Amino acid sequence: MNETLQPNPVVTFYGAVPGIRAPIRADASGLGTLPSRGFQYCEALRTASSFGWYVFPPIDFTLQWDGSQIIWTYNGAKAWYPLTSAQFPGFQALFDRVAPKRLRGFSPPFLTAIPEPGIIQLWTGLFVESAENWSILIRPPANLPRNAGYEPYEGIVESDRWLGPLFTNIRLVKTDVPILFSTEMPVLQVQPLHRSTYADEISNRFGMIRGLADFPAHAWERYEESIVRPNVENRAVGGYAAEVRRRRRSGCPVHIQ
């Protein structure tokens, strides 16, 4: 992957596997899978879909799980292989040739079957780091149809303090059927998170109004503005989406302290 220079990137991906597909900005249309009305009018759906970057498998490969043992194969392999811990094909020799001498022998595994039944760890072929005080949320692609054969776990990595392989854990759901991972479909969505947004002091600080009779006046006023007036005044469909897009075009800054 050729180096792509961006000013002050929040997240930087390092392509370790030769010829790997680079991450791309996540797509507001869910790669064309969202309903046309949702794409046109539902800005909440569009925003969630386009937040972050798609990450793809480094090679086409297939897993199969019988409830006990996992076997795997890949495009160009001559057989199925029992999975314990496997290097990406040909990568260990490349790593030992290119890496500093003190690091040789420490190439990350591509696939690892961990002790819990049906769970594997997948390396995307990328290393990742982020700017100071920024972490990454690793999650399934937002609003894309899921592969019924597996389910990625979600995790938050403080990648400003930890530069290393971009891994994910995956739970296999189906048994006795081949489960294909394709370089044509993202396996993950990586999203930037400022560390302040998931601190305990933020998550523990929320309010709850328990009944309609307790709603304060400003809540009724905002409900009227958001929900009632557009219907009474027959405003055009998609007014919220249009307003959000207008603010974005105007370049309103985002402040994070």
Task: Say yes or no: 195 and 153 in one domain.
Answer: yes
Helix (H) / strand (E) element for 113: namely strand 111-113
Question: Are the C-beta atoms of 183 and 23 separated by less than 8 Å?
Answer: no
Determine, yes or no, domain membership for 6: no
| Cα distance from N-terminal residue to C-terminal residue, the chain | 34
For residue 227, what is the DSSP state? Answer: I
* Chain CA centroid to CA 170, Å: 13
The rounded Cα 13 to chain-centroid distance in angstroms is 13
Determine, yes or no, domain membership for 232.
yes
In a domain, 97, yes or no: yes
In contact, 39 and 46? CB cutoff 8 Å: yes
Claim to verify: residue 55 and residue 164 sit in the same structural domain: yes
Q: Give the end of a domain, one of 162, 184, 201.
A: 201
Task: Return the structure tokens found at 98.
Answer: 């290119």
Is 60 within the bounds of a domain? yes
Domain harbouring 32, CATH code: 2.70.40.10
- Check residue 40 and give its pLDDT: 87
Helical axes 43-50 vs 239-249, angle rounded to 10°:
50
SS3 label, residue 178: coil
Residue 196 sits in the same domain as residue 175? yes
User: Length of the chain in residues, anyone?
Assistant: 257
Enter the DSSP assignment of 103.
Answer: G
| 128 and 227 both lie in a single domain | no
Cα Rg for the chain, rounded, in angstroms? 22
Clarify whether residues 135 and 245 are in a common domain.
no
Q: How far apart are CA 182 and CA 150, in angstroms?
A: 13
Does 140 lie in the same domain as 60?
yes
Same domain membership, residue 183 and residue 218: no
The answer to whether residue 49 sits within a structural domain is yes
Does residue 79 sit in the same domain as residue 182?
Answer: yes
Domain count, the chain: 2
Q: Mark whether 194 and 218 lie in a shared domain.
A: no
- The answer to whether residues 72 and 61 touch, using CB atoms and an 8 Å cutoff, is yes
User: Is 71 among the domain residues?
Assistant: yes
pLDDT of residue 244: 64
Residue-wise pLDDT for 175-192, tens only, equals 999 999 999 999 999 999
Task: Give the integer Cα–Cα distance in Å for 85 and 68.
Answer: 16
Residue 209's SS3 state is: coil
Q: Which of 186, 201, 216 is the last residue of a domain?
A: 201
Closest to 69 in 3D by CA, of 123, 110, 115: 115
Q: Which domain holds residue 231?
A: 208-249
Per-position DSSP letters for 44-100, written without gaps between them: HHHHHHHSSEEE--SS-EEEEE-SS-EEEEETT-SS-EE-SEEPPTTHHHHHHHHS-
Whether 125 contacts 18, CB under 8 Å: no
Tell me if 109 is assigned to some domain.
Answer: yes
Q: What is the pLDDT of residue 1?
A: 46
pLDDT in tens, the chain (257 residues): 455 656 789 999 999 999 999 999 999 999 999 999 888 888 999 999 999 999 999 999 999 999 999 999 999 999 999 999 999 999 999 999 999 999 999 999 999 999 999 999 999 999 999 999 999 999 999 999 999 999 999 999 999 999 999 999 999 999 999 999 999 999 999 999 999 999 999 999 999 999 999 999 999 999 999 889 888 887 666 665 666 666 666 665 544 43
Residue 257 has what pLDDT? 39
**Contact assessment for residue 191 and residue 135, using Cβ atoms and an 8 Å cutoff:** no
Domain assignment present for residue 66? The answer is yes
Choose among 108, 124, 105: nearest CA to 59: 124
pLDDT of res. 231: 85
Together in a domain, 83 and 25:
yes
| Interatomic CA distance for residues 10 and 254, integer angstroms | 14
Same-domain status, 187 and 219: no
Are 184 and 217 members of one domain?
no
